[in-house]
């Protein structure tokens, strides 16, 4: 009984202290004047020490990260919104050091009169406030339960402190990573600024070079226009000079003269007439140089025919009645700049070529090629029968009128050795863009030749083993995207092979024929 009385007295003293600390200085009540050393000055906060609600204390865990006196100070600031007075701070600090948990102190502070007046919302305190109210109403059993609760809170505190410690470590690592990211961003920003300046300088340099190149191009174009004008002027003078020579020669031929003189005058007249096409020859050379491609590009495209030529040569050489030592392996009609003949000579085959463009023939002869100026129709008629293994032409037959084209096929099968073949490449009108547009880039073309028509012409003139090899389709990126049948047909007509090759052989002689 005596012990109980002592505990009640202690509780009474604590209640008095709690009441003293909760004195509200903001009430419009009579307040006695106090001096600096008076008792009231130690429990009444000054006006400049009152805090407003701070969002940094929204949960009870925001307080539990502090220990001992720091906990008391921050609890006053977060719940009572003021600095702790001397007596209140000492009271709460003593309770804390005697074993009362920090959660219980927070609940006691919120349930005090001043705490209820401030009514600061703290998450995570609802259950603790209910528990504390119940313990306060149960008197002795409540105090026992309170101590058990404090003991339980004290047991759980190390786990909470460890979790809080881990949380601080994670926060520190995040801050460290964030600082590293900021530093890297600053470095990148500086590096990007340097890169931007370098790129800016490079662009400026490129623009200056482009401007210089454009100026040089304009100067070159102006010079080229002047050269072309002079060239046209010289051609015009040449035309006038040739016409004057022709007229003078015709006048001389009208007089009395011997047959030798007459023949010489006719030859002279024929030579003059041939030179009247020099201007067209010069134009066609310029056209091919601009539109056909480089010499190496053309040679690479023609390499696909080399295995075919080798197969034919092996086939002919294997027959005992054929002697190919003194014959022409490949005769190229309309040889142009001679790329195909060069490719064949590199394989050590005997070749010959003809063309009616004097300048191209001269260029081929300068390269050491066996090339002559001749008309295709007349040249083939002069060749002996069975004297050539292969007759080729690339983009020639579309230049020839049909009557001469028929004669070309007839003469070709005559002069080919048995087992020989023709190889004629021409634009493919199955491609709509070729048949309606690109075919007419060359003004010397007559009309497109379909694969069906050329197959029939070859069969009609006696050729066998006739094949059509379609070549050079448009690149994939030019096609319309899609896999349906309509899209495939559109791509086939618009982006299909631009050329085709007619390959046809002369039959071998049978025993009855020999």
pLDDT at 238: 63
DSSP string for 135-201 = HHHTHHHHHHHHHHHHHHHHHHHHHHHHHHHHHHHHHHHHHHHHHHHHHHHHHHHHHHHHHHHHHHH
pLDDT at 4: 47
- Is 241 domain-assigned? no
Please name the residues in contact with 160: beta carbons below 8 A apart, sequence gap of 6 or more.
Answer: 64
Average pLDDT over residues 282-297: 71
- Alpha-helical (H) ranges within 304-357 are 306-317, 339-346
**Number of structural domains in the chain:** 2
pLDDT at 334: 94
Phi, psi at residue 482, to the nearest 5°?
Answer: 140, 155
Does the pLDDT value for residue 60 go beyond 70?
Answer: yes
**C-alpha radius of gyration, the chain, whole number:** 55
Of residues 421 and 195, which shows the higher confidence score? 421
Reported as a single tens digit per residue, the pLDDT across 334-345 is 999 999 999 999
Residue reference for tokens 């007249």? 269
Of residues 444 and 276, which shows the higher confidence score? 444
Average pLDDT over residues 271-294: 64
Confidence bin at 38 (pLDDT 50/70/90)? very low
Does the pLDDT value for residue 332 go beyond 70?
Answer: yes
- Is 276 domain-assigned? no
- Is 280 domain-assigned? no
- Is 20 domain-assigned? yes
Average pLDDT over residues 54-72: 76
The C-alpha atoms of residue 91 and residue 18 are separated, in whole angstroms, by 8
Does the pLDDT value for residue 441 go beyond 60?
Answer: yes
pTM above 0.95, yes or no: no
Confidence bin at 169 (pLDDT 50/70/90)? low
Tokens of 39: 């008792």
Does the pLDDT value for residue 351 go beyond 50?
Answer: yes
Reported as a single tens digit per residue, the pLDDT across 304-327 is 999 999 999 998 887 745 555 567
- Is 233 domain-assigned? no
pLDDT at 358: 85
Does the pLDDT value for residue 28 go beyond 50?
Answer: no
Greatest mean pLDDT among 198-212, 262-276, 411-425, 426-440: 411-425
Does the pLDDT value for residue 502 go beyond 50?
Answer: yes
The C-alpha atoms of residue 499 and residue 309 are separated, in whole angstroms, by 19
Does the pLDDT value for residue 180 go beyond 90?
Answer: no
- Is 225 domain-assigned? no
pLDDT at 455: 97
Does the pLDDT value for residue 102 go beyond 70?
Answer: yes
Of residues 64 and 461, which shows the higher confidence score? 461
- Is 464 domain-assigned? yes
3-state secondary structure of 58: coil
pLDDT at 36: 34
Lowest mean per-residue pLDDT among 26-30, 190-194, 241-245: 26-30
The C-alpha atoms of residue 334 and residue 360 are separated, in whole angstroms, by 10
pLDDT at 340: 96
pLDDT at 310: 94
Does the pLDDT value for residue 445 go beyond 70?
Answer: yes
Check which CATH number belongs to the domain holding 393 and give it: 3.40.50.150
Task: Note down the domain range covering 78.
Answer: 2-137
Is 149 in contact with 101 (CB distance < 8 Å)?
A: yes
Of residues 491 and 392, which shows the higher confidence score? 392
pLDDT at 189: 74
Of residues 235 and 457, which shows the higher confidence score? 457
Of residues 105 and 505, which shows the higher confidence score? 505
Domain end (from 85, 105, 137)? 137
The C-alpha atoms of residue 240 and residue 246 are separated, in whole angstroms, by 10
Confidence bin at 160 (pLDDT 50/70/90)? low
Average pLDDT over residues 15-30: 46
Q: Taking CA 85 as the corner, what is the angle to CA 84 and CA 89, rounded to the nearest 5 degrees? A: 65
Over the range 202-235, which residues count as b (16 or more CB within 10 Å of their CB) and which as e? eeeeeeeeeeeeeeeeeeeeeeeeeeeeeeeeee
Domain end (from 137, 157, 191)? 137
pLDDT at 43: 39
Domain end (from 137, 163, 196)? 137
Confidence bin at 5 (pLDDT 50/70/90)? low
Reported as a single tens digit per residue, the pLDDT across 201-257 is 888 888 888 888 888 888 887 777 666 666 655 655 566 666 666 666 666 666 556
DSSP letter at 50 equals B
Of residues 180 and 501, which shows the higher confidence score? 501
- What is the overall mean pLDDT for the chain? 77
Of residues 1 and 93, which shows the higher confidence score? 93
Lowest mean per-residue pLDDT among 29-43, 101-115, 347-361: 29-43
- Is 283 domain-assigned? no
């Amino acid at each position: 009984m005596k012990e109980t009385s002592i505990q009640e007295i202690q509780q009474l003293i604590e209640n008095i202290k709690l009441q003293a600390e909760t004195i509200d200085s903001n009430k419009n009540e009579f307040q006695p004047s106090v001096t600096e050393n008076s008792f009231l000055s130690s429990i009444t906060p000054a006006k400049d020490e009152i805090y407003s609600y701070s969002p940094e204390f929204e949960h009870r865990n925001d307080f539990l990260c502090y220990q001992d006196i720091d906990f008391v100070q921050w609890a006053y600031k977060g719940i009572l919104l003021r600095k702790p007075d001397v007596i209140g701070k000492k009271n709460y600090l003593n309770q804390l050091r005697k074993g009362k948990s920090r959660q219980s102190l927070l609940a006691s502070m919120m349930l005090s009169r001043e705490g209820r007046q401030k009514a600061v919302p703290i998450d995570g305190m609802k259950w603790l406030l209910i528990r504390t109210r119940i313990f306060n109403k149960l008197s002795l059993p409540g105090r026992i339960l309170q101590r058990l609760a404090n003991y339980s809170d004290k047991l759980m505190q190390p786990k909470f402190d460890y979790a809080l410690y881990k949380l601080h470590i994670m926060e520190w690592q995040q801050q460290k990573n964030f600082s590293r990211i900021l530093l890297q961003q600053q470095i990148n920003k500086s590096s990007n600024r340097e890169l931007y300046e370098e790129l800016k300088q490079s662009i400026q340099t490129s623009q200056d070079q482009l401007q210089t190149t454009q100026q040089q191009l304009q100067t070159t174009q102006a010079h080229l226009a002047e050269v072309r004008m002079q060239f046209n002027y010289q051609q015009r003078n040449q035309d006038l000079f040739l016409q004057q020579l022709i007229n003078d020669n015709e006048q001389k031929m009208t007089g009395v003269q011997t047959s030798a003189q007459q023949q010489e005058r006719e030859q002279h007249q024929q030579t003059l007439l041939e030179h009247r096409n020099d201007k067209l020859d010069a134009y066609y050379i310029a056209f091919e140089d601009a539109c056909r491609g480089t010499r190496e590009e053309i040679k690479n495209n023609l390499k696909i025919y080399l295995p075919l030529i080798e197969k034919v040569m092996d086939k002919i050489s294997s027959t005992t009645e054929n002697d190919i030592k003194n014959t022409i392996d490949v005769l190229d009609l309309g040889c142009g700049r001679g790329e195909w003949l060069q490719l064949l000579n590199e394989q050590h085959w005997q070749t010959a070529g003809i063309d009616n463009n004097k300048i191209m023939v001269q260029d081929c002869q300068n390269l050491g090629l066996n090339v002559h100026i001749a008309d295709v129709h007349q040249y083939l008629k002069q060749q002996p029968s069975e004297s050539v293994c292969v007759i080729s032409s690339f983009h020639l037959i579309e230049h020839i009128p049909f009557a001469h084209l028929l004669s070309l096929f007839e003469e070709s099968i005559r002069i080919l050795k048995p087992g020989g073949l023709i190889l004629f490449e021409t634009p493919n009108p199955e491609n709509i863009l070729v048949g309606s547009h690109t075919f007419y880039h060359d003004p010397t073309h007559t009309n497109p030749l379909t694969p069906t028509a050329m197959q029939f012409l070859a069969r009609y003139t006696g050729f066998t083993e006739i094949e059509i090899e379609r070549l050079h389709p448009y690149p994939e990126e030019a096609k319309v995207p899609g896999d349906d049948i309509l899209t495939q047909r559109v791509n086939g007509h618009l982006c299909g092979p631009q050329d085709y090759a007619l390959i046809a052989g002369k039959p071998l002689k049978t025993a009855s024929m020999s």
